[in-house]
Amino acid sequence: MSITANDHALAAHGHHHQSFVSRWLMSTNHKDIGTLYITMAFIGACVGGTLSVIMRQQLMYPHSHIVANGDTWNAIITAHGLLMIFWFVMPALIGGMGNWFVPMMIGAPDMAFPRLNNMSFWFLAAGFVFVMLGLLLGSGTGAGWTLYPPLDNAQYSPGMATDFSLFSLHLAGISSLLGAINFIATILNMRAPGMTMHKMPLFCWAILVTAFLLLLAIPVLAGAVTMLIMDRNFGTSFFEPSGGGDPVLFQHLFWFFGHPEVYIMILPAFGIISHVVSTFSKKPVFGYLGMAYAMVIIGFVGFVVWAHHMFVSAISTDSKIYFEVATLIIAVPTGIKVFSWIATMWGGSIEFKTPMLWAMGFIFLFVIGGATGVVLANAGLDQELHNDYFLIAHFHYVLSMGAAFAIFAGFYYWIGKMSGHQYPEFWGKVHFWTFFIGVNLTFFPMHFLGLAGMPRRYPDYADAFAGWNYVSSIGSIISVVSTLVFFYVLVRVFSSKEKLADNYWGEGATTLEWAVPSPAPQHTFLEVPVIR
């Protein structure tokens, strides 16, 4: 094909010799910006993951002194939550892989607003500086990632750290918002001729729905955070009971953002899993339209279920029933996704390469996390389970195993396309199995701790909880070992001399990024493909 020939020519010519500063600090190239995002995600995951290891070490035995005191502990758990969400999962899935592959999949040479794209990244980097200041300044920000007032108001958290954490959300929020505008404009306006919405790859659908969620949810968070900053610094009373303010309002505003946020983290993962499952089953995705519109429905319903995070807060009985039922309804489109993945594999000719292992791990563990989600959606049960370790287990099953597994699936699936070097298959599998064992050992016992009544965000606990906490901490050590294996995989990837074909997965990988060379040249689709 001519597009391939043209891109090969470009690849042969190499990049047009940009300086380091021009290429990495002033970038207007979606692939370079995607790489910057993935680097950010790597740093965020390392810092946030290290914090989680500190937490698990503290909790390994009762009455530990690894963390100095409760304030330090609270700062660590807060930063762990914020970092993992805003500086790991989101930049990896949306900014990183979204930037790299959405334009390529729709046959566009770049994003709609390349400069804006770059600014989205730098806002995120600025936010990272702020969130680290929030962790390290004074006794840190200790209100949890949900930042509920009054604990983080000027009276109970007087230091600057909390302000830095709040502004870090502004910076990350602006980053996401600009990114969302960019993705929507790109996907709606820059699809190759002939690529109708209903021919568009599912990862692009996933990013499109995610971007709409960001567009509409982030500003509400911005409003809530602004009010909190005003309360702290400028004498207002939005959430101050002494002035007539309502702390519960913050919970509403936060979760109106926060619930779409969980779909923001998981929908791009859904997209990646669809591609990986289809590729390694050598079959087109089963029920493509159902898959696409299931994500649209999840995104839509995701906006009207927020108060299920507040079942034991100030919320009326009838609201509980509404929010419970609305929440449970999300199980139906999610079921469509899971069963369609299985149907895609059914009848396939499956090769269990590393990305496929991550994808299958994702599907199974996400179903477990989804099942406990159905349990937690019951307002009556939430009165027992709210905020205890059963909840922690639930959301780590959907995030630490859901989103993170999808990130690794995408990494192994696309690293050859991004770097031009293939990962070592054996070590990829070692990484998968050690991580699989590690995270399950870490998070499955948390179900038992929660049932037994252990609350979250505790640096020390009653001795009876020691057993399962010990097992969980062992699991986290295994995850650390697994991460070291991943570092080794990275070393191998970047020291590899192997040349890769355009489509190194062969039959089954049918999206447009497989029509260009590996590594993808700096500019792809300067000649836009016309789709049949």
Considering only residues 141 to 200 of the shown chain, the ones binding another protein according to CB under 8 A are 142-144, 148, 150-151, 156, 160, 163-164, 167, 170-171, 174, 177, 180-182, 184-186, 188-190, 193-194, 199
Which helix or strand (DSSP H or E) is residue 404 part of? helix 404-419
Among 49, 459, 475, 521, binds another protein (CB under 8 A): 459
Is 397 an annotated catalytic residue?
A: no
Nearer CB in complex with another protein: 231/486: 231
* β-sheet bridge partners, residue 388: 455
Report if residue 336 touches another protein, rule: CB under 8 A.
yes
Report if residue 9 touches another protein, rule: CB under 8 A.
no
Is 71 an annotated catalytic residue?
A: no
Is 259 an annotated catalytic residue?
A: yes
Is 308 an annotated catalytic residue?
A: yes
- Binding marks (x or -) toward another protein, 225..264, rule CB under 8 A? -xx-xx-xxxxxxx-xxxxxxxxxx--xx--x--------
Considering only residues 261 to 300 of the shown chain, the ones binding another protein according to CB under 8 A are 281-288, 290
Is 309 an annotated catalytic residue?
A: yes
**Binding segment for another protein among 84-92, 107-115, 424-432, 493-501 (CB under 8 A)?**
107-115
Nearer CB in complex with another protein: 252/431: 252
Among 47, 97, 106, 108, binds another protein (CB under 8 A): 108
Cα–chain center distance at 503: 27
Could you tell me the CA-to-CA distances from 196 to 182, 189, 192, 421 in Å, in that order? 19, 11, 8, 32
Nearer CB in complex with another protein: 320/421: 320
Q: Which of 263, 389, 397, 468 is catalytic?
A: 263
Q: How far apart are CA 454 and CA 448, in angstroms?
A: 9
Are 390 and 376 contacting, i.e. CB atoms less than 8 angstroms apart? yes
Considering only residues 338 to 377 of the shown chain, the ones binding another protein according to CB under 8 A are 338-340, 342-343, 345-352, 360, 363-364, 367-368, 371-372, 374-375
Is 316 an annotated catalytic residue?
A: no
Report if residue 130 touches another protein, rule: CB under 8 A.
yes
Query: Helix/strand/coil (H, E, C) string of 167-178?
Result: HHHHHHHHHHHH
* β-sheet bridge partners, residue 455: 388
**Per DSSP, which regions of 409-499 are E strands?**
none
Smallest distance from another protein to CB 481, Å: 25
**Per DSSP, which regions of 406-512 are E strands?**
none
Considering only residues 398 to 437 of the shown chain, the ones binding another protein according to CB under 8 A are none
Could you tell me the CA-to-CA distances from 318 to 303, 321, 383, 428 in Å, in that order? 18, 5, 15, 50
DSSP state of 520: P
Are 299 and 263 contacting, i.e. CB atoms less than 8 angstroms apart? yes
Q: Which of 232, 308, 320, 421 is catalytic?
A: 308
Among 420, 468, 475, 486, binds another protein (CB under 8 A): 468
DSSP string, 253-322: HHHHHHHHHHHHHHHHHHHHHHHHHHHHHTSPPTTHHHHHHHHHHHHHHGGG-GGGGGTTSS--HHHHHH
**Max Cα–Cα distance, the chain, nearest Å:** 71
Q: Is 51 left (phi over 0), alpha (psi -120 to 50) or beta?
A: alpha
Is 139 an annotated catalytic residue?
A: no
- Binding marks (x or -) toward another protein, 54..93, rule CB under 8 A? --------xx-x---xxx--x-------------------
Among 465, 486, 493, 520, binds another protein (CB under 8 A): 465
- The catalytic residue positions are 80, 110, 145, 175-176, 259, 261, 263, 274, 308-309, 334, 337, 456
